[in-house]
Amino acid sequence: MPPVVKGKLRIKQVRSGSGHSYRMKRTLEALGLKHHQDEVVHADHPALRGMLQQVRHLVEVTPEKEGKK
């Protein structure tokens, strides 16, 4: 995961939640990731970092560039 900075993170689901625990599937859903290859952008904060830690093997995280939509 990128170091903690103020800003936004782009989160992409790179592996399916199928075959994983109910809790991991619910964490992906809470992040807004419903399908394989979905991408979302969230503001960086400690609660988000905790959720990403739980599903780190299923997602790819990159910092969002400023000015990019």
Is 39:12 a contact under the CB 8 Å cutoff?
yes
**Model confidence, pTM:** 0.83
Strands of the sheet containing 8-13, edge to edge, are 39-43, 8-13, 59-63
pLDDT of the residue at 67: 64
What is the pLDDT, as a whole number, of residue 53? 96
- pLDDT attached to residue 64: 87
Mean pLDDT by groups of 10 residues along the chain of 69 residues = 75 95 96 95 94 96 78
Sign of the torsion formed by the C-alpha atoms of 26, 30, 36 and 42? negative
